[in-house]
Amino acid sequence: MHVRQTLNPSRSGSRPSPVFLQVVDDTAMPRLAIPMDSHHSWPMRFLSVPAVHRTLWCAALAAAVTGCGKFGKSADLEFRSTTVVRTNVVQSVSSNGAINPTRLVQVGSQVSGTIVDLKVDFNSKVKEGDVVAKIDPASFERALARADADLAATKAQQSLATFNLKRAKDLFNSKLISETEYMQTDVAMQEADANVKMREAAVDSCRVDLQRTTIYAPINGIVIQRNIEIGQTVASSFSTPTLITIADDLTRMQIELAVSEADIGSVEVGQRVDFSVDAFPNRKFTGQVNQVRFAPTTNQNVVTYTTVVSVSNPDMHLRPGMTATASVVTSERTNVLSLPGAALRFTPPATGVKVLAAAGSGTNSATAGAAPNGPNGFPEPPWRTGGERRRPTDEERKKFVDSLNAEQREAYNKFTEQMRQRMAEGGGGGAGGGGGGGSGPRPARADGPTIRTVYVLEPQTGDDKAKPALRAVTVRLGVTDGSNYEVLSGIKEGDVVITGVKGGSIPEPGMTRSPLSGGGSPFGGGGRPPGR
CATH code where residue 156 lies: 1.10.287.470
- Asked if residue 194 and residue 66 are part of one domain, the reply reads no
Q: Which of 72-76, 341-345, 511-515 has the lowest mean pLDDT?
A: 511-515
What is the model's pLDDT at position 34?
Answer: 46
Q: Which of 264-278, 329-343, 359-373 has the lowest mean pLDDT?
A: 359-373
pLDDT in tens, 106-147: 999 999 999 999 999 999 999 999 999 999 999 999 999 999
CATH no. for residue 308?
A: 2.40.30.170
The three-state secondary structure class of 362 is: coil
The reply to whether 230 falls in a domain is yes
- Asked if residue 165 and residue 134 are part of one domain, the reply reads yes
Q: Which of 49-58, 82-91, 148-157 has the lowest mean pLDDT?
A: 49-58
Q: Which domain holds residue 250?
A: 246-334
Q: Which of 32-41, 375-384, 459-468 has the lowest mean pLDDT?
A: 32-41
Q: What is the mean pLDDT of residues 446-470?
A: 70
Q: What is the mean pLDDT of residues 345-357?
A: 77
Share of the chain above pLDDT 70, in %: 68
pLDDT in tens, 28-82: 444 444 444 444 455 555 556 666 666 666 666 666 555 544 444 445 678 888 9
What is the model's pLDDT at position 53?
Answer: 63
- Asked if residue 484 and residue 358 are part of one domain, the reply reads yes
- Asked if residue 360 and residue 345 are part of one domain, the reply reads yes
The reply to whether 148 falls in a domain is yes
- What is the chain's mean pLDDT, rounded? 77
End-to-end CA distance of the chain: 48
- Asked if residue 425 and residue 495 are part of one domain, the reply reads yes
What is the model's pLDDT at position 439?
Answer: 36
Query: In terms of pLDDT, which residue wins out, 110 or 450?
Result: 110
Query: In terms of pLDDT, which residue wins out, 363 or 75?
Result: 75
328 touches 273 (CB < 8 A): yes
What is the model's pLDDT at position 13?
Answer: 46
DSSP 8-state assignment for residue 29: P
Query: Angle at CA 116, nearest 5°, toward 114 and 119?
Result: 125
The reply to whether 401 falls in a domain is yes
- Asked if residue 286 and residue 233 are part of one domain, the reply reads no
Q: What is the mean pLDDT of residues 152-181?
A: 92
- Asked if residue 439 and residue 345 are part of one domain, the reply reads yes
Asked whether residue 374 carries a pLDDT value surpassing 60, the answer given is: no
pLDDT in tens, 413-448: 877 877 777 676 654 444 333 333 333 333 334 456
What is the model's pLDDT at position 501?
Answer: 84
- Asked if residue 350 and residue 279 are part of one domain, the reply reads no
- Asked if residue 355 and residue 323 are part of one domain, the reply reads no
Q: How far is 2 from 25, CA to CA, in rounded Å?
A: 7
- Asked if residue 503 and residue 382 are part of one domain, the reply reads yes
Three-class SS string for 454-476? Answer: EEEEECCCCCCCCCCEEEEEEEE
The reply to whether 471 falls in a domain is yes
Q: How far is 484 from 342, CA to CA, in rounded Å?
A: 9
The reply to whether 379 falls in a domain is yes
What is the model's pLDDT at position 442?
Answer: 37
pTM: 0.58
What is the model's pLDDT at position 399?
Answer: 82
The reply to whether 87 falls in a domain is no
Domain tally, the chain: 4
Q: How far is 396 from 219, CA to CA, in rounded Å?
A: 76
- Asked if residue 466 and residue 395 are part of one domain, the reply reads yes
Q: Which of 326-340, 342-356, 436-450, 494-508 has the lowest mean pLDDT?
A: 436-450
Asked whether residue 493 carries a pLDDT value surpassing 60, the answer given is: yes
Query: Per-residue confidence at 377, pLDDT binned at 50, 70, 90?
Result: low
**Identity of the highest mean pLDDT range in 36-50, 202-216, 475-489:** 202-216
Query: Per-residue confidence at 24, pLDDT binned at 50, 70, 90?
Result: very low
The reply to whether 96 falls in a domain is no
CA distances 105 to 173, 229, 316, Å, are 66, 19, 19
CA distances 444 to 58, 68, 476, 481, 518, Å, are 67, 52, 18, 21, 9
Asked whether residue 159 carries a pLDDT value surpassing 80, the answer given is: yes
79 touches 456 (CB < 8 A): no
Query: In terms of pLDDT, which residue wins out, 171 or 442?
Result: 171
Query: In terms of pLDDT, which residue wins out, 10 or 345?
Result: 345
Write b or e for each residue in 314-339: b if 16 or more Cβ atoms lie within 10 A of its Cβ, otherwise e: eeeebebebebebbbbbeebeebbbb
What is the model's pLDDT at position 204?
Answer: 95
The reply to whether 90 falls in a domain is no
Domain stops at, among 72, 92, 114: 72
Asked whether residue 213 carries a pLDDT value surpassing 60, the answer given is: yes
Query: Per-residue confidence at 202, pLDDT binned at 50, 70, 90?
Result: very high
Asked whether residue 10 carries a pLDDT value surpassing 70, the answer given is: no
- Asked if residue 432 and residue 495 are part of one domain, the reply reads yes
The three-state secondary structure class of 288 is: strand
Asked whether residue 177 carries a pLDDT value surpassing 60, the answer given is: yes
DSSP 8-state assignment for residue 28: T
